[in-house]
Structure 1
Amino acid sequence: MRSHAGTPPSRRRFLTLSAGGAVAGAAALSGCAMQVSSAVSGPGETVTLMVKPDDISPELVKQAQKDIGVKIVTVRYDLTKLIGMMTNGNPPDLVRGVGATDAPYFAARDVMQELDPYFAGSSVLDLDDLDPVNDLWRYDGRTQGKGPRYGMAKDFSQDSMYWYNTALFDTAGIDHPPETEPVTYGEWLASAKRLTRRSNGQTTVFGGSYNGVQTPNLLASLTVAAGGNLFSDDFSRVDFTTPEARKALGWYIDYCRARVGPSIIQPDPNTWDGPTYQASRMAMSGNGYWLGGLINTDKKLAQVSRLAPAPVFEGGRRISSCQAGTGLWMPKKARNKDAAWRVFEWFFGEAPAKARASSGWGIPTLKSLRPLMPAQETYQKRALEVQNAELEHFSVIAFTPYATSDSLFALFNQTAPAAMQGDMSVDTLAGRLNSVMNEQLKRGKEQVG
């Protein structure tokens, strides 16, 4: 295995990368088997990307070679494999990440390259052109949304917005939600109950789906919408018993108990909203603008579909967060940083970014690319007007650096079903979530040091 200047991060710092820290530590020990590229210097460099198959297609890999003369080698994203590569001083050159939750986690562990000097020298990515969603990729050592930039989102949506099928509303005799003013979460749930259709004990039409990107991200956003914060000021604890967090948790448990939409006690057989909404078996889908990329493949469905603002809590703030902001970051120990940055510029600011912007599968993260968003059809223009008005309500919802969203999600899923089924009170659930999640956060804080 090639040696590398500088000391790689210790395994100890990574033991909270997953809910099963021991697994992560064990995986790190076998990292020598994971060397995937040996970059050469000069023209024709090789850059290794750890991504998921949907992040970059084989066609784009070929296009990069043609456009910028860099060979891209991809390795499938896998957290334990990433730990192994980093602890052995052989990280990928660029890694996919979910800005909303991964950025503070990895930045706090000092394994991400600060990108401010690269942005400062770039003729492709102008800081003034960056959409505020890219602040999800900033971390000042304490709070997400401020400080150095560690990555960038490839596109985004405001994930608390929702799509609805006007034909299903008309059939149920329910007024359409307003397109510029938000409904309350209570009104949304009341409509979902009226829109749900059941036959012989089976749900034939879901009235509404509202699960966010992951439950911890959703509950953090809902708590801010209710006027509070799920995390303590130093992000080392959660508190579901505050009035605002209790309101957020109570609403989500009410949603699950009502069985108006998918949840862990009533899974969607399709595993996600897209096919169910396409089949007109879901009246409202709590997904942001990006779902329009799927909806617009069926013109008939697109004509009866509308995008609506994120709901609000009665008396709460109007906020519309991004719970994902998926993009790329550069490990501090990457070997081929200049070539990796060239790929970064190309991916986020050149041909691939323009193609993504015009696809309708997300909002571009460069403001200058917004004119490429599809607006040929009346229904596209309509959705775009709602989306553009919603942008002013965006805000970064800071997430804890002391645990992965996946690990908190697993703890939630182990603890919450009894409450969803009506066998445990929301207050009891709040106390139990505090107990199990704060134990996880405590371990994570000890390991960050």
Structure 2
Amino acid sequence: MSGRFSRRRLLAGAATAAGVAAAASACGSGGGNTTLTIMGNHPSEITDSDVAGFSKKYPNVKIKFVTNSVQLLTAMFAAGDPPDIIRDQGVQNTPYLVKRDLAEDLAPYFARSTVLTDDKIAAVDDVWRYDGSVQGKGPRYGLAKDYSQDAMLWCNLRVFEKAGVEPPDPTKPMSYEEMLDVAKRITRRKGAQYSAYGLYPPFDVSLSAGVINMVTSAGGSVFNDDYTKVDFSAPEAKSALQWYLDYADAQVGPTVARPLAAGAAAAFFADQLGMVGYGYWFGGEVASNPQVQDHVRFVTAPQFGSTRTSPCFAAVGHWIPKTSQHKQEAWNFFEWYFGEQPAIDRAKSGWGLPGITAMNADLPEVKPYQKQALDVQNAEFSHMSVLKYSPYVAFTALDASLSQAFVKGLESGLSAGRLADLVNDTLNPLLEQGKELVA
């Protein structure tokens, strides 16, 4: 897998785990009077060209990269010398970071900026806002470098053609039951040997995000009103868990207990996977695999309940710690990376939607599959929704708890109700501890 693809698997929950320092890898951009330390993905996301452009504009600032590691970050904070810029996921982590007083309030910087003004910033960037109670309101604490509506699907038309099944309508959402039925009809296997899987559902970026999206669509919430408890035994949540059990029982695709060894992308590009639950960003992978470009289709997100939802699961971007010693230099890099040439270059690559709305005009549409995907995406914008996470527990704990419960449930044949009890029993003590820590 490429660095661009693997970035979606990296756990960006910085400052969410205890640990000791890990070894740091560093590389720089030449001399300078100030060293700006960035914990981010170099060179796959922050490229050498990005660094060179910034160094030309700010020759007195040297950039140093350190390994993107939760353990290292925890140790750097403990030592009182955190990085100046940190990669993270805005959807899941903004409330968590703000409640712990870790992130710098960037509202004064945005107010002074002529590059990153409110009229230029995409609506998705509101996930990086938090007023202490509600995500999407209050000061900005970070910005998304790019994003996708991650419950959308890419279809391999060759798999559908071989099965004699009509592919989904690109703009009419399937129900999750319809999606599972289609997956059953296009799966090809003899015993345990698959020649084609039907579905890799939209849970890869974050298992908890996939489930929370389904629950929200059904009109429920996994959290109580103040986000201090979860209840996966509520009807909407238990229905979502039951769907996953039904999906696993149908044996139409990989599960947390039975993953694909080579990954979903490899199977998709080898015409061995019919539907994969990735957002617009996956078009960047398609661009690198010309053998599949003439038989792919991008389609709208499936719908679980009565409400049509199509959220962003991550909104990966960066934030500046409150204890950074070089906040102005960090902000200068923010403006360069998020609002100038690097952002234009990312938009042109097709590796996600830009955080600056004007740069939507730079998204690729030369090839037929690019134009088709962009047309579907443009229609999908109006269905953007925001997932709600608790500030009292790291999303990595949510994902781990759900994953462990699903593995145990699938291996032991547990019911959805028993799965819900397992998740509740694991997460509610963690939420209680988290609430006490920030009280």
Normalising by the residue count of structure 1, what TM-score does the alignment of the two structures yield?
0.89
Q: Distance in 1 between matches of 2:293 and 2:331?
A: 38
Q: Deviations 1:68-106 (Å, cap 9, x if unpaired)?
A: 333211101111211221222211110000111121111
Contact 1:254–1:420 under 8 Å retained in 2: no
Contact 1:159–1:212 under 8 Å retained in 2: no
Q: Deviations 1:258-300 (Å, cap 9, x if unpaired)?
A: 2212212211111x32211111111000000111111123334
Q: Distance in 1 between matches of 2:14 and 2:376?
A: 43
Query: Given the superposition, is the C-alpha separation of residues 305 and 119 from structure 1 closer, same or farther in structure 2, using an over 3 Å criterion?
Result: same
Q: Distance in 2 between matches of 1:35 and 1:174?
A: 50
Matched residue, 2:133 = 142
Query: Given the superposition, is the C-alpha separation of residues 357 and 37 from structure 1 closer, same or farther in structure 2, using an over 3 Å criterion?
Result: closer
Query: In the alignment, does 2:92 pair up with 1:93?
Result: no
Query: In the alignment, does 2:281 pair up with 1:317?
Result: no
Contact 2:107–2:140 under 8 Å retained in 1: yes
Residue 16 of structure 1: how far off its partner (Å): 8.7
Matched residue, 1:10 = none
Contact 2:256–2:406 under 8 Å retained in 1: no
TM superposition outliers: structure 1 runs of 4+ over 6 Å:
33-38
Matched residue, 2:242 = 250
Query: In the alignment, does 2:275 pair up with 1:284?
Result: yes
Residue 254 of structure 1: how far off its partner (Å): 1.7
Q: Deviations 1:309-333 (Å, cap 9, x if unpaired)?
A: 111125x210100001100000001
Q: Distance in 2 between matches of 1:265 and 1:182?
A: 28
Q: Deviations 1:354-399 (Å, cap 9, x if unpaired)?
A: 0000001101111010000001122211110100100110011111
Aligned CA RMSD, in angstroms, stands at 2.3
Amino acid corresponding to residue 164 of structure 1 in structure 2: C
Residue pairs, 1:42-53, within 5 angstroms: 44-53=33-42
Amino acid corresponding to residue 101 of structure 2 in structure 1: D
Question: SS at 2:229's partner residue?
Answer: coil
Normalising by the residue count of structure 2, what TM-score does the alignment of the two structures yield?
0.91
Matched residue, 2:189 = 198
Q: Deviations 1:10-44 (Å, cap 9, x if unpaired)?
A: xxxx99923xxxxx1x52xx69x989899xxxx75
Residue pairs, 1:201-220, within 5 angstroms: 201-210=192-201, 211-220=203-212
Q: Distance in 1 between matches of 2:27 and 2:168?
A: 52
Q: Distance in 2 between matches of 1:34 and 1:179?
A: 45
- The structure 1 residue matched to 2:336, chosen from 346, 365, 374, is 346
Aligned length: 422
- The structure 1 residue matched to 2:231, chosen from 235, 239, 260, is 239
- The structure 2 residue matched to 1:263, chosen from 255, 261, 264, is 255
Question: SS at 2:311's partner residue?
Answer: coil
Amino acid corresponding to residue 240 of structure 2 in structure 1: A
Amino acid corresponding to residue 325 of structure 1 in structure 2: A
Question: SS at 2:303's partner residue?
Answer: coil
Matched residue, 1:21 = none
- The structure 1 residue matched to 2:432, chosen from 418, 430, 442, is 442
Residue pairs, 1:101-250, within 5 angstroms: 101-210=92-201, 211-250=203-242
Query: Given the superposition, is the C-alpha separation of residues 167 and 36 from structure 1 closer, same or farther in structure 2, using an over 3 Å criterion?
Result: closer
Contact 2:14–2:70 under 8 Å retained in 1: no
Question: SS at 1:183's partner residue?
Answer: coil
Matched residue, 1:5 = none
Q: Distance in 1 between matches of 2:309 and 2:74?
A: 35
Amino acid corresponding to residue 429 of structure 2 in structure 1: E
Question: SS at 1:237's partner residue?
Answer: coil
Question: SS at 1:206's partner residue?
Answer: strand
Matched residue, 1:336 = 326
Question: SS at 2:297's partner residue?
Answer: strand
Q: Deviations 1:426-449 (Å, cap 9, x if unpaired)?
A: 111111211111111111111121
